[in-house]
Amino acid sequence: MAKVGFFSDDETGELCARLTCLGLAGTAGSAILAVPEAAVGPADAAPPRGVSVVGLVPHADGRGLGRLVAETGRSGIDVVAALPLDRLADGAVRCLFDVAVTVGGGQVQAARALRAARYEASPGPGRTPAVPAWFLAGSDQSILATKARLSSAHGPRLPFATRALPMVLPRGTRCGREGLLSWRPGDPVRATAALLAALALAVAADPAAARIEAADLAALMAAGTTPEDRRLAGRLVSLAEAYGRTADGPDEVGPDRSRGASRDRRLRPTRPASATSGDARAPAPRPGRVYRY
């Protein structure tokens, strides 16, 4: 089971969470998407097969998120969450995820995401640093992507380091964004979903890795020592095949940069098809339904 969290000051984190959930559900059969309650739209009442949506109440704490992760964990279901960037500093929240990614759509938001992903390269004798986050740059954020690479732990000895995912999030179009929000994505969106899901699985397999490269993915795809290794390899191979089938076409992912783009339609959450009570005995969310947590 993969536990992935995207942290952002804008809707980019939610879009990335939807992408990753879409990719993971295609290989595992089921996945939970946890997004802010205000981001739950009408289409989330009928998500793709194997996907269920959880609407997080404002300021959801580590205890509530912990119950959600524990419940899905017992069922072996992947969980992908979108949370505000400032929640990354909350240890009770951050420790719930195998993979934490910071991202921002605009330059200002992305710069904040980059700073949030930095960690101490040398925390000092006897100190073990927390597993740091990864920074995901957009296709129009090359300067920030370069800064992330230059501040790598393998580069010059700087007081901080940053781990950057080896991909860029394509600049969005209205068509691509709306297709993702309505769960009717085109092939370019599905290709990005497959790539992002594969990277999430690779990071989850080695949370302390300083970087992820193509050779690392190839090694994981060839692994077969244990049943868990073979399952991971099978999922990565499936994602690689999905990427190969859908990679051709224009980029259509990411926040819409066109003037007049609005989220008004999505600021009124739909009435959940079912709701958890919020206590520790609540059953795990079932795929294909909308929940409030």
Question: Per-residue confidence at 129, pLDDT binned at 50, 70, 90?
Answer: low
DSSP class per residue in 49-73: TTEEEEEEPTT--HHHHHHHHHHHH
Tokens of 189: 């969106």
- Tell me what the mean pLDDT of segment 162-187 comes to: 87
User: How far apart, in whole angstroms, are the C-alpha atoms of residue 137 and residue 281?
Assistant: 39
For the chain, what is the mean pLDDT? 79
Give percent of the chain with pLDDT exceeding 70.
75
Q: Could you read off the pLDDT of 231-282 as tens digits, one per residue?
A: 999 999 999 999 999 876 555 555 544 434 433 333 233 333 333 333 333 4
User: How far apart, in whole angstroms, are the C-alpha atoms of residue 55 and residue 194?
Assistant: 24
* Confidence at residue 207, expressed as pLDDT on a 0 to 100 scale: 87
Q: Could you read off the pLDDT of 216-228 as tens digits, one per residue?
A: 999 999 977 899 9
User: How far apart, in whole angstroms, are the C-alpha atoms of residue 105 and residue 10?
Assistant: 7
Of these ranges, 29-38, 59-68, 96-105, 111-120, the one predicted with the greatest mean pLDDT is 96-105
Tokens of 81: 């969450």
- Tell me what the mean pLDDT of segment 27-44 comes to: 88
Residue 282 DSSP code: P
Domains and CATH numbers, the chain: 3-212+246-292 (3.40.50)
- Tell me what the mean pLDDT of segment 100-106 comes to: 94
- Tell me what the mean pLDDT of segment 121-134 comes to: 64
Question: Residue 106 carries which side chain, given as an amino acid letter?
Answer: G
Q: Quote the radius of gyration of the chain (alpha carbons, Å).
A: 18
- Tell me what the mean pLDDT of segment 145-154 comes to: 67
Find residue 135's DSSP bridge partners: 102, 164
* Confidence at residue 151, expressed as pLDDT on a 0 to 100 scale: 60
Lowest mean pLDDT among 66-80, 180-194, 244-258, 262-276: 262-276
Lowest mean pLDDT among 30-44, 148-162, 178-192: 148-162
User: How far apart, in whole angstroms, are the C-alpha atoms of residue 68 and residue 264?
Assistant: 28
Question: Residue 121 carries which side chain, given as an amino acid letter?
Answer: A
The CA-based dihedral angle spanning residues 101, 187, 35, 234, taken in that order and rounded to the nearest 10 degrees: -60
13 vs 85, 90, 245, CA distance in Å? 9, 17, 25
Question: Residue 164 carries which side chain, given as an amino acid letter?
Answer: A
Helical segments of the chain, H only: 12-28, 62-75, 91-94, 107-117, 142-150, 174-181, 187-205, 214-222, 227-246
Tokens of 160: 């901080």
The length of the chain in residues reads 293
